Amino acid sequence: MARVAVVTGGTAGIGLATAHEFAARGWSVAVIARDPGRLAAVERALAAYGQPVLAIGADVADSQAVDGAAEQVERELGPIRAWVNNAMSTVVSPADRITPDEYRRVTETTYLSQVYGTLAALRYMKRRDRGAIIQVSSGLAIRAAPLQAPYCAAKFAVSGFTDALRCELLHDRVNVSLSVIYLPAVNTPQFNWARNRTGHRQFAPDPVFDPRLCAEAILYAVEHPRREVWVGRSSMMMAAAQALAPALADRKAASMWSAQLSDETIPAMAGNLYEPVPGSVGIDGRFSDRTKASRTEFATSRTRDLLVAGLAGLALVGLAGTVHAARSARRLPQRT
């Protein structure tokens, strides 16, 4: 029996690339999304890989719908081995021009959807003592940027929730892995359909990466559990800047206001915040001419830990050498 993976927001962009990656590696895949037309198209495309596929129409901001989807997957495909929380939404606008309802909706779709998906998966994984849950996050969960306050806040919340839950699983000795994938700017259709009231079309600042690179990082974290994965050099640089010089990172992020907007003027866009944008959109966005070709540019927390251990080892060796030299100097005979 094929292993079973669930991908939320799996009909476009990174979610669609991830669903294809799972299916290409022999997994049975369940995709959860809202648009019935894209769900049907994805179901047909994934079936070509030869494993069972399930397309489920649900709003991931609805906890009961997510629970029902998990139950359907278990019933029709089998035990869930991997659950990828990928669905999200955003509002591109200055923070004080975003309504309370919009803040609430972004929080529901981007943060609470990951809570609901995680809890739904855990109900089955915990009793079997196996499984992998992947939280698709962003470099903006480490270093926030202007014009996307609700999204940044929701992604920060995902990290806090995941860290707390990871501690509980360790306490209970539950063998379910939790991984957070921090993404850079990625060439996806999201830039075409986000709610936007800036008067300018949203732009993906360089460097822009391939959604398939993100999919490979997600599959890697499923098959080789890691606490965290940083995709693309920019997400790693954001993490380093925030850790080492947060005030400088604030000033650098302030310059990203204009970098996120093109010169093209547009009317206000309702986007996909409350309803899906209809039509076929695929994996890639409109920045293919600037997309980095690299398909292996990601680093994991194990790489970081090994680097830190190595640096600590070098520091200890240096300290030991200094202490030895000082002791030797004290033992030298004094000249008179």
Where does residue 152 rank: exposed (0-12), middle (13-18), buried (19+ CB within 10 A)? buried
The catalytic residue positions are 151
Q: Are 27 and 4 in contact (CB under 8 A)?
A: yes
